[in-house]
Amino acid sequence: MNTDIYILSLTAASIGFIHTLIGPDHYLPFIMMAKAGKWSKNKTIWVTILCGIGHVLSSVVLGVIGIAAGIALDKLELIEGTRGEIAGWALISFGFLYMIWGIKKAYNNKPHSHIHVSDKGTYSTHHHEHHGEHVHVHKEEKKSLTPWILFVVFILGPCEPLIPLLMFPAAQHSVIGLTTVTAVFGIVTISTMVSIVAVSMWGLNLMPMGKLERYSHALAGFAIFASGLAINLLGL
């Protein structure tokens, strides 16, 4: 590996780490959906990895096609910016709808009382929440659909810093350079996503939700909604 590719790889690793760390959309949706949907650790990690792969590869494919077609860097960045806005609005829409569904679910599952009168004329009161089969059926439907929605959103979401990094090895006609920079950026990005998700889930599992458990889906929707706003309004 020559010095230029080595320096570029270090740059790709640094940018991949920082890009992921400051972008809550890279990990917050997985953390909140895993908590709300009671995903297993393995499912959470694999959903995060697959979405990360789609996130990186979609930009690589666009970058390679653009470079091969001779499209200027500023036009490629414009395309990536447009994809970012679409991904942001997709997160906003999905998060908002999921939040409304979560609020409705929490309302339908609110604690309430029943009064029972015995044959002797005495009565007793007990409190409970509905956790019956009806609720679980809808929960399973949501669990099966949500990972795919996140995957599609992450394919739409661009890795803006990756395109400029690919320009130098492409200009040098270095396949090894392109492969190395892409691999380093992708591995660091996905590893950072998985690490943050895993550590956050470990921390959340140590914290009792208490009465907030009923609002876990609504909170997850709000977190995804906020992540979309962070992309479109703050450029994260």
For 203-217, give the DSSP string.
HHHTS--GGGGGGHH
Angstrom distance (rounded) from CA 74 to CA 158:
15
Average pLDDT over residues 85-103: 87
Which of 82, 101, 98 has the alpha carbon at shortest distance from 224? 98
The radius of gyration of the chain's CA atoms, rounded to the nearest angstrom, is 23
Work out the mean pLDDT of the chain and round it to a whole number.
77
Which one is predicted more confidently, 177 or 18? 18
| 97: CB partners within 8 A, 6+ apart | 221
CB-neighbour burial class of residue 157 (10 A; exposed 0-12, middle 13-18, buried 19+): buried
The token pair that represents 190 in the structure block: 């996905």
- Tell me: pLDDT of 219 over 80: yes
The token pair that represents 104 in the structure block: 């409705």
Angstrom distance (rounded) from CA 118 to CA 137:
34
Q: What is the DSSP letter of 171?
A: H
Which of 156, 153, 19 has the alpha carbon at shortest distance from 95? 153
Which one is predicted more confidently, 75 or 123? 75
Angstrom distance (rounded) from CA 149 to CA 221:
13
pLDDT at 44: 92
Query: Where does the pLDDT of residue 129 fall: very low under 50, low under 70, confident under 90, or very high at 90 and above?
Result: low
CA 63 vs CA 114, 179, 216: distances in Å: 62, 12, 38
Angstrom distance (rounded) from CA 1 to CA 8:
11
pLDDT at 121: 52
Angle at 65 between CA 64 and CA 67, to 5 degrees: 65
Query: Where does the pLDDT of residue 209 fall: very low under 50, low under 70, confident under 90, or very high at 90 and above?
Result: low
Angle at 78 between CA 187 and CA 233, to 5 degrees: 80
- Tell me: pLDDT of 112 over 60: no
- pTM of the predicted structure, to 2 decimals: 0.74
